[in-house]
Amino acid sequence: MRAWGFPGFLINFVEQQSPLQPFHALPHEYPLLSLIPFTLTLLAPYRWFLIEFAVWMTLVAGLIYLVLKQCRSTGAAIAFAFYLVLGNWATALARFDLIPVGLTLGAVILAERSRWRWAFTLLALAILLKFYALVLIPPLFIAQQLRFRQSKWYSIHRWDGMIAFVAVCAIVTTISLLLSVNGTLGPLAYFQSRPVQVESLGAVALWLGSFLGYPVHYAYTFGSLNAFSALSSKVSLSGSFFFVLGLLYTYWLQWRGKLDIFTASLLALLISMIAGKIFSPQYLMWVAPFIAYVGKSNWRWLVSWGIVCALTTGIYPFIYNAYASDAVPRVPVFYPLVLLRGVIILAIIFALFYRAARNQGTADLPLLNQAVAGKADQSSM
């Protein structure tokens, strides 16, 4: 801060924010609100922590099931339960991901029903729990713009959702900064510095590079087992390029009316999963309700995503528990399984892109009809 010329009072303020003070130690990887799920476990004695946490997550999973059943279909709810059990039976009740998952699902459902302020509020809360939901901001914003495309660009109807989003983020971030500036900004540097994790598609590229004379070594850092190679920077840069390219293409298709908000959200999440430097088993939870909402009980979705779930479970916990952690990447079947999982996810992404490209631009027809009807109502008044 001194190098950047910040005022002295700000520098002194930050220096006085010791993480040893009560309520000043923030998670080094997640935003402030991620403390809430763990705070809820204080209602019971510490020795019951794991059981109580699992009970809370079970309740959240049950709520997501009921929302899918009520807002989509019983088949979609059962499909969600199937994916959750098959792919995340070892992680669903031990991670807090189900909370932002439920919030993102609720946000998209509310957006589909034109409840924009509530939709963006839920999305803001999801992001302030886990940053992965950032990729869902454009799908919601585009959907709102399509809904009110007949209105003036400065109409409050176009911006009230984003205003609510910014307000929630500003309030929570301000509180977080007052508690710890380093703790608030730390996760950004944490993610930037993370290497390629062994379960990611990027690690498969490094593994294949080892057959071309670029050796790979493994080390446990940043809370995960990671791969290091002379190709690491190139692989990370390529992943970032395809991440941005895939998201831009998704948002463009949605803007042209070729993708509805649920499929656009699903694609954004799938792209962030497959193009990132990290792939953890709990990431399957991010997309499970959206896969269920879009695919419902269609056998093609059940088979394709069911295989992804089964492969993920085969890797974790089975391979991880059968071998020492540093030996996992050297298990002969490990990288073939990771590669097969990545290929299936890529096939799903390209299949959705292909279907959208052939679409005649009617994916958001309900939104357009609402916009036209709203304009007609205004004219008749």
Residue 375 pLDDT greater than 70, yes or no: no
Write the CB contacts of 334 (distance below 8 Å, at least 6 apart in sequence): 198, 315, 319, 328
Write the CB contacts of 173 (distance below 8 Å, at least 6 apart in sequence): 32, 128, 184
Residue 219, H or E segment: strand 217-221
Task: Identify residue 209 by its one-letter amino acid code.
Answer: G
- The pLDDT of residue 6 is 65
- The pLDDT of residue 278 is 95
Structural domains of the chain, count: 1
C-alpha 43 chain-centroid distance: 29
- In terms of residue numbers, what domain contains 325? 46-380
Whether residue 16 is contained in a domain is answered as no
What confidence tens digit (pLDDT) does each residue in 165-179 have?
A: 999 999 999 999 988
What confidence tens digit (pLDDT) does each residue in 202-237 have?
A: 999 999 999 999 999 999 998 899 999 999 999 999
- The pLDDT of residue 367 is 44
Whether residue 197 is contained in a domain is answered as yes
Residue 2 pLDDT greater than 70, yes or no: no
- The pLDDT of residue 25 is 77
Whether residue 13 is contained in a domain is answered as no
DSSP 315: I
For the chain, give the percent of residues with pLDDT over 90.
76
What confidence tens digit (pLDDT) does each residue in 312-360 have?
A: 999 999 999 999 988 999 999 999 999 999 999 999 999 999 999 998 7
Please check whether residue 53 is in contact with residue 41, taking contact to mean a CB–CB distance below 8 angstroms. Answer: yes
Q: Give dist(CA 92, CA 65) in Å, integer.
A: 14
